Every structure is written in C-alpha cells, then in structure tokens.
Amino acid sequence: MPTFDLLLRNGTLVNQDGVGRADVGVLHGRIAAIGDLATADAAEELDATGLHVLPGVIDTQVHFREPGLEHKEDLATGTAAAILGGVTAIFEMPNTKPGTTTAADLEEKLRRAQGRAFCDYAFFMGATAANARDLGELERLPGCAGVKIFMGSSTGDLLVEDDEAILEVLRHGSRRVAVHCEDEARLRERRHLAEEGRPETHPVWRDEQTAFLATERLLRLARQAGRRVHVLHVTTQEELQLLAASKEIATMEVTPQHLTLRAPAIYEKIGTLAQMNPPIRSGRHQEALWLALRGGVVDVIGSDHAPHTLEEKARPYPRSPSGMPGVQTLLPILLDHVHHGRLTLQRLVDLTSAGPARVFGLAGKGRLAVGYDADFSVVDLAAKRTISNHLQASRCGWTPFDGWEVQGWPVATIVRGTLVAYEGEITHAPVGAPVRFAEALPRG
C-alpha cells in the first residue's frame, strides 16, 4: 500500500491532457502518483471533492518593492498576498532601490527572501548600459528569472532607450529577455498632454503609438541580435498584429487589469487608482486583447503587481505614481472570466502555469505530472465572493477591484507539497525557495 506525505483526494484535475477526476499523491515535495489512489495512506490528506486542482499559478511579473521601498510592500507581505490568491511562485522585477543590476544585488534579494517568502520566487536582473556585457553571466545565476529591459521610464531609474544600448544588451546572453515597451522619446514629447488633476489623460499621454513604436523597434533589434524576447503587459491592437507575425522570436503577456478594466469609465470611477504603465485603454484595445488571447497569440498572463500607498496615489495627477496591486486578485478575476465564458479553464492553466514554464524554461514546474514540483492551486468554481480592500494582504491595503463580485475562488494553495493557505488563511510558516530554470542549471 503506497504511503504519501500528502494526498489530494477526489479533485477534478485540469492539466495538459484534459480535465478529469483523479487523486494526487505527493512525496518529498514532488508529485509521486496521479490516478485512483483510494487504497493509499498519507500523513496529510485534503478532500478536494467538488473542487478543481490546477497546476500552481505562476505570476511572472510582480514588483515587491524590497529593498528600499518597503513602505509599499516587501517580500513577506507580497508573497503572503500571492498564496492567498492561489499563486505558488512569483518572478520579481528589478526596479527596487537599489535596482537589481549586479550579482551582489541578486544575492541580497535572495538573502532577504530566505525564510520570509511564502511562495517560490525568482528575481529579474535589470539591464543597463553599464552591465550589458556582464548579462550573459548574470542571467545564469541561481534565482535569476532572466533579464528585464525598460525601454520607457516607469517606476524607478532603470532605462535603456536607444537602439545601440538595447542591441548591446540583446547581444550578451541567451535566455529570453523581458521588455517594457514604451518609446521614451515620444513620452518626453507628449508629457504636456498629461493634464493636471485629470488621470483620464494618462492614455492620451502614453498613447497607442508610444507602445507600438517601442515594440516595433524591439522586434527589429531582437531579429538583428538573434535574441528571444518577451513583451510585457501588451495593451494595443496594433502591437498584437506585430506580435502575431513574430512568434518565432517574441512571446507576450497581458494583465487581468487590461483584460477587465476599460477607459474612460475606470478613470471616472477610481481616478489615479487606475493609473498604470502602459495605461488602461479603450474597449477597442480590450476586445483585441481577448481576440488575441482566444487565438493563441497571448502566451502568459501576469499581474504586474505594482503597489503604492493610498497616500501616494492621492497626489494630484500626474504627480501620482503609476501602478496597482494585482497578485492576490489575478486568479479570482480570471476565474470570473471563466464563469462568464470568456476563457476556458484549460486556457487559464496554459496562460498561468504551462505558458510561464514554456516561455521561461522552468525546471519541474507548470504541469501536473509525476516528478514535477507539487504546486497546486485548488479552486472552487461555484464560490461567489466579493473582492474587497480589507481582504488584501499587500501592505498597500487596496485593490482596483474593491467591491467586485466574482464567481470562482482559490480555496487552497500548496507549494511543493506544503499547504500554505486554506480558506483565506495562511496555514504555514514561509516555505518559499528559488525557482529553477532549465537554461541556468548548475553545470557539472
């Protein structure tokens, strides 16, 4: 009779081979068996009757603000929000203070995460003109998610805007490079269009052409360098046409915010809380995102969790900072889209588990399979809940989805075989460890 550390019984598994009832046995943090395990024993059991068991959701774009900006968020509060939202691993961005641009910076983040992170983690290395030639070595360090380029200024001072500098970055290294695509020259030219006290002018200032020009340039330079790229938080219909014709070299991400919130209504409703880069845009662009998602052009959904305090957000636009929290609401918002028929459950899994594994080359994560890490997001598709500010574990304490009623909710979060969150409560001390990447495994 097999004995496991953890046994998930009677759940409906959503996996690369379809949807169906099965038990899952976990041993030493990895999946040891899938099937009918009615006669098996386990040290711990979770009855998943009536629930769906997904491969652990991986949020590949978060800003957890540590070090230097911990009044907004830190690695403990950010990862707590993650597991309460059903997220089992995160990739954190480099625009902290100081930015993550050296091996010592990465080592410091890894040190801070040890014993404090509730989910697994990896950290992006920020590209600069100064560290371009070192990026081939830096991207292979343990715990590094890859390289991140900011083509347009957002939050922080990491900026690589001219073609020569971008090409220099792309020519050093081999892993896929994540890129924030906004054209810095056009942002400077149009800065006067951001009208005092009018956040609804944010998408006028940072218009469609600002995003399109940067993405067009990036694709040209990526082909010139022969380097794979990943375009973050795509927002425009025009970019989608370019990216659909560039799948040999480019993958892409969209966010739940851009799939769900629309201009100008959201700016009228919540003002600067809706301010992010690139901006929330009109229905024309949102409809194009959904069309691209259904057509398979979209590879990944990430939250772009970028918290600021309510006091900071209350500054008159455009002195208010751009960014909004999202790691805890990513899965509930997407499950609600599943409920309304906009998204299938299998496509959700592809965008939040299999997609991240495919794009970033994860080792042992992203699907329900024997030998893989025992990461599970267990959800109740029938549960009706209201998203609210007071439920948010993020230090910023708010969400743009405050008051939204959704159907579909994360019930349990399991990280490498440990139940870390259940029914809205954190159930275990931090167990997070660095994510492993196939292209950066130690050389023998």
Residues forming the active site: 304
- Token reading at 369: 């399979």
Which are the contacts of 119, defined by CB distance < 8 A and separation ≥ 6? 79, 82, 83, 87, 88, 89, 90, 413, 415, 420, 432
Q: Rounded to an integer, what distance in angstroms lies between the CA atom of residue 91 and that of residue 58?
A: 8
The length of the chain in residues reads: 444
**Distance, CA of 372 to chain centre:** 21
Report strand pairing: 120-126 vs 87-92.
parallel
Contact present, 353 and 79 (Cβ < 8 Å): no
* DSSP percent split of the chain into helix, strand, coil, nearest 5: 30, 25, 40
Contact present, 387 and 299 (Cβ < 8 Å): no
45-79 in b/e form (b: 16+ CB < 10 A) is ebebeebbbbbbbbbbbbbbbbeebbebbbbbbbb
Per the rule left: phi > 0, alpha: psi between -120 and 50, beta: everything else, 296 is left
Q: How many CB atoms lie within 10 A of CB 254?
A: 26
Q: Which letter does DSSP use for residue 305 in this model? A: B
Q: How many CB atoms lie within 10 A of CB 319?
A: 11
* 3 state SS of 75: helix
- Token reading at 317: 């636009």
Q: Rounded to an integer, what distance in angstroms lies between the CA atom of residue 413 and that of residue 167?
A: 41
Partners of residue 11 on adjacent β-strands: 22
Q: Rounded to an integer, what distance in angstroms lies between the CA atom of residue 368 and that of residue 53?
A: 9
The tokens 């495919």 sit on which residue?
Answer: 358
Q: Rounded to an integer, what distance in angstroms lies between the CA atom of residue 347 and that of residue 354?
A: 9
The tokens 């410091």 sit on which residue?
Answer: 108
The angle at the Cα of 285, spanning 160 to 55, to the nearest 5 degrees, equals 75
End-to-end CA distance of the chain: 37
The tokens 């360098």 sit on which residue?
Answer: 225
